[in-house]
Structure 1
């Protein structure tokens, strides 16, 4: 009799409770995970092209859902605005709201006063002048993308076409307090985006199954 009552009580439980089993000791593995052991990713920094992120081409996501042409891990048509490849002293850290303070670009080291600044991609000079107290040069690359550099002294006039890698000005002191640097910002329309996405592979590492695993 007692067994019949107990069985009836179990059958009356909701399906979500009746079918619930014990929690798994190991949670689900995401297809996109952290960098694999031995990868060249640094804490808080991007994964450079050639790391465990892979070398397959993938489109870069753009504001508004459109995509920019991409090469193996980065945008093939873009290059660093300084040579040789500079260290990144401060990374892109946009504010949560447009009117708040933040870092809307990257600061590149190795930019001693007088160092040449080159256009990272082909475009047209759209601005040369002083903003607040710093000389700024802006290159319009088309398709809504614009690069701005400061502090940079440029002899070019607005409307001048420039090729990728062409010198557009020279670094002058005034941005980084302790070391000379170049601030590089990129806008997609009116939205600031991370400049490093055009020269580095910022895709997360993907965890692949071990060889021979079922």
Structure 2
């Protein structure tokens, strides 16, 4: 009995999750947390600063564009190793002076680092964003909503004039925030061997 062979096709799939990591889920409040603690963020003074907790990390493509304009001025360039050269974020065009939070979260840091003002927001699930140069009147511990104004475009840093740098880290490792903004290229299936 003859055996029929069919040509083999192998597809290369580059899933979007490879760019952003696995989806994060917000941890439930601990049994020791009071309703006020579970529903708000505490500042350095210990007071509850918001009535609602940050939402879980949103799916890819649902972050707000911090500068109000959907245009990348300079792309993410992954370093070859942890301390190698690269561009650990994207520079985004800004229409006006207001900068908004890409997603709900809690302000982790506001200040000046290496001569440039910045704000860092913890979105939960190990996801953190940093916006620079941004002058902000917010304080560490303040809760922010998706798309809420968090500061004004300032001077300093390496972003070109009229642009804001958006950096994103998942579990301490820099990731390309383009996917979170919905600007990453979609996966493509490629035929192989055929």
TM (normalized to structure 1)? 0.61
Runs of 4+ aligned residues of structure 1 deviating over 6 Å after TM superposition are none
CA drift of 1:127 comes to 0.1
Counterpart of 2:69 (choices 68, 84, 98) is 84
**Do the aligned partners of 2:61 and 2:180 also contact (CA within 8 Å) in 1?**
yes
**Do the aligned partners of 2:99 and 2:150 also contact (CA within 8 Å) in 1?**
yes
Matched, 1:171 2:153: yes
Question: Structure 1, unaligned stretches of length 5 or more?
Answer: 1-26, 35-57, 209-214
Change (3 A) 1:33 1:98: closer
Matched, 1:31 2:11: yes
More strand by share: 2
In structure 2, how many angstroms separate the alpha carbons of the residues matched to 1:83 and 1:134?
21
Q: Secondary structure at the match of 1:104?
A: coil
In structure 1, how many angstroms separate the alpha carbons of the residues matched to 2:125 and 2:83?
25
Question: Structure 2, unaligned stretches of length 5 or more?
Answer: 1-6, 25-56
In structure 1, how many angstroms separate the alpha carbons of the residues matched to 2:69 and 2:160?
21
TM (normalized to structure 2)? 0.67
**Cα root mean square deviation, aligned:** 2.9
The aligned counterpart of 1:142 is 124
**Do the aligned partners of 1:124 and 1:161 also contact (CA within 8 Å) in 2?**
yes
- Bigger-Rg structure (1/2): 1
**Do the aligned partners of 2:16 and 2:186 also contact (CA within 8 Å) in 1?**
no
Q: Greater RCO between the two (CA within 8 Å, min separation 6)? A: 2
For 1:115-134, what aligned pairs fall within 5 Å after superposition? 115-134=97-116
Q: How many aligned residue pairs are there?
A: 152
The aligned counterpart of 1:66 is 22
Change (3 A) 1:111 1:101: farther
Output one character per residue of 1:162-202: Cα deviation in whole Å (capped at 9) or x when no partner: 00010000111223575321100001011000001112243
Output one character per residue of 1:40-80: Cα deviation in whole Å (capped at 9) or x when no partner: xxxxxxxxxxxxxxxxxx873477x6324665xx343x221
